[in-house]
Structure 1
């Protein structure tokens, strides 16, 4: 996925959509915030949404793409605990919801690799 010239824009679009959704529908995100984090879950939801929007802008622009894509890979690693929290919290939900929560865990790997590939491709072009 990282080799396509559209790949950075697709990644930026994914980040932008996720960022906007953190503000448009924050409640589902609030529930995934690990309880170990200090402060209000809503603050973390909004902060992560803002980071996703900033990363989207950075990935979309060729001048900042490589650095933003590396930061995106780190961000995807950093939000993994929220996906773990969701999987733990949803373990007693109906099977389709439980499966969706569990599917998010391995999905982080291709997202990280995608972001790293975007960074690497941009560095090779520069």
Structure 2
């Protein structure tokens, strides 16, 4: 993927996911660990805002380097929610289990993608 295109696609991915947190919040609510204070919807909206802000930072060349680093951190930060989803869905039908457990290793290429965008920012 070309350097600028990789950044634009990453920004779009983050922004799209951020919008989904507001348009269709219920699935995200279910991923919020109960150990977090406050209600799940609050965390869903906060994470949606974070994804929108990080997506915007990645989209702008001047803030791309910092935004891409924030994207990598965000992908790492949401990993516990993906673990929770896999655990909660362990008794679901096979297709849903595959989705839930398949998300776990996908965090690695997302983090690497963000770090690659950071490395290539400004080049």
- The question of a shared fold, defined as TM-score above 0.5 by the shorter chain, is answered with yes
Aligned to 1:111: 110
Unaligned 5+ runs, structure 1:
none
TM-score (norm 1): 0.95
Aligned to 2:99: 100
Aligned to 1:4: 3
2: CA distance, partners of 1:25 / 1:115: 25
RMSD in angstroms over aligned alpha carbons? 0.9
Unaligned 5+ runs, structure 2:
none
TM-score (norm 2): 0.97
Q: Deviations over 1:47-77 (max 9, x none)?
A: 0000000011000000000000001100100
Aligned to 1:34: 33
Structure 1 residue 36, shift from structure 2 partner: 1.0
Aligned residues: 123
Are 1:45 and 2:44 matched, yes or no? Answer: yes
C-alpha contact (below 8 Å) 2:3/2:117 kept by paired residues? no
The 4+ residue runs of structure 1 with deviation greater than 4 A are none
C-alpha contact (below 8 Å) 2:3/2:120 kept by paired residues? no
